[in-house]
Amino acid sequence: MGNGFLGNDASFMLDVVVCALVAVVPALLFSIYLVKFKRNYLLHRNLQVTLGVVLLLTVAAFEVDLQVVHGGWENIVKNARGEDWVNTPAFAQVRNVLWIHLVFAISTPLMWAFTIILALKRFPSPPTPGEHSGLHKKLGWISAIDITLTSVTGLLFYYLAFIAAG
């Protein structure tokens, strides 16, 4: 069952999502750099919409695989660590980290959808700064921080569940 490609006995889709979580942060930093320092609003819009769609498709495929194919994350962890590992303090810690991760992982798509839909409606095409700028900058920074925390906590979960000793 552990058919991941990163060598940690995780599932294939978990390894795909880990790669996406690592890639999204520099892509986002580049997009914010483009808009803030290069004033390239069009490329910023296109990059953000592409990132949003790719992340949504990746996470949807991940969730279907996780719940339907593997029957939940605990089965994947048991496969990698053995049945008894779920009774250890290390497993309890992994579960706590997962709860924290879920707070960000659930709010992020909602914030991103809201930020993107409002921006597409209220900025002209091609986009230029305007009346929506003030609200968009706030939503944009919240969305950016939210996904960064999703990434950091998701990677911490993966590390504790599949890589760390114990």
Interacting residues with ligand HEM (CB under 6 A): 32, 35-36, 41, 44-45, 48-49, 52, 112, 115-116, 119-120, 123, 127, 129, 133, 136-137, 140-141, 143-144
Smaller CB distance to ligand HEM: residue 104 or 123?
123
Chain position carrying tokens 């996780």 = 66
Smaller CB distance to ligand HEM: residue 6 or 32?
32
Smaller CB distance to ligand HEM: residue 73 or 112?
112
Q: Which residue is nearest to ligand HEM (CB)?
A: 140
Contact 66, 73 (CB under 8 A): yes
Smaller CB distance to ligand HEM: residue 64 or 120?
120
Least separation in angstroms between CB 42 and ligand HEM: 8
Smaller CB distance to ligand HEM: residue 8 or 58?
58
- Give me the DSSP letters along the chain: ----SSSSS--HHHHHHHHHHHHHHHHHHHHHHHHHHS--HHHHHHHHHHHHHHHHHHHHHHHHIIIIISSSHHHHHHHHH-GGGGGSHHHHHHHHHHHHHHHHHHHHHHHHHHHHHHHHHHS-SS----TTHHHHHHHHHHHHHHHHHHHHHHHHHHIIIIIS--
